[in-house]
Amino acid sequence: MLIYIYLIVGNILLQKIIRISEATYNQIILVWGNLIFYFVLGILLTIPFFLSETKKEGNWMINYKCLLAFILPLFAVVFLYFYPILLDLSYVLGHVINALSVVAGYSLIFIVSKK
């Protein structure tokens, strides 16, 4: 239910951000709005895993292998969107980056777990 509410409210906010970016010719507002929206969506998808981890006994640990092997390259690819040479591919690359930001938000929670 929370994800549906987030999708509805988030899409309304993204439509307003699109109107603002079109009126001001400032596309960076739209890019950051999309990145944040899809990143938070990825985090919301992992709420059941995080709640099950909080019920376990033990200490919280960080999985550094997952951090280095998965998350940092995703962030690097997401921020490649801002590289000026890739402006010709911005439409296709924008959808790929939105998907990668969902994956980055989703995998961010799996870095921290209890052992």
Instruction: Supply φ then ψ for residue 59, to 5 degrees.
Output: -95, 150
d(CA 6, CA 112): 24
- Whole-number mean pLDDT of the chain? 80
Q: What is the pLDDT of residue 81?
A: 65
- Is the separation of the CB atoms in 14 and 34 below 8 Å? yes
Higher-pLDDT residue of 31, 63: 63
Is the separation of the CB atoms in 62 and 111 below 8 Å? yes
The pLDDT score that the predictor gives to residue 96 is 75
How many CB atoms lie under 10 A from the CB of residue 34?
A: 19
pLDDT level of residue 68 (50, 70, 90 thresholds): confident
What residues contact 76, with CB distance under 8 A and at least 6 apart? none
Categorize the per-residue pLDDT at 85 as very low, low, confident or very high, splitting at 50, 70 and 90: low
Distance CA 70, CA 74 (A): 7
What does the pLDDT look like over 21-50, one tens digit per residue?
888 887 777 777 888 888 888 888 888 888
Question: Could you tell me the pTM of the whole model?
Answer: 0.75
Question: Which one is predicted more confidently, 93 or 19?
Answer: 19
Cβ neighbours, 10 Å, residue 53? 16
pLDDT of residue 78: 67
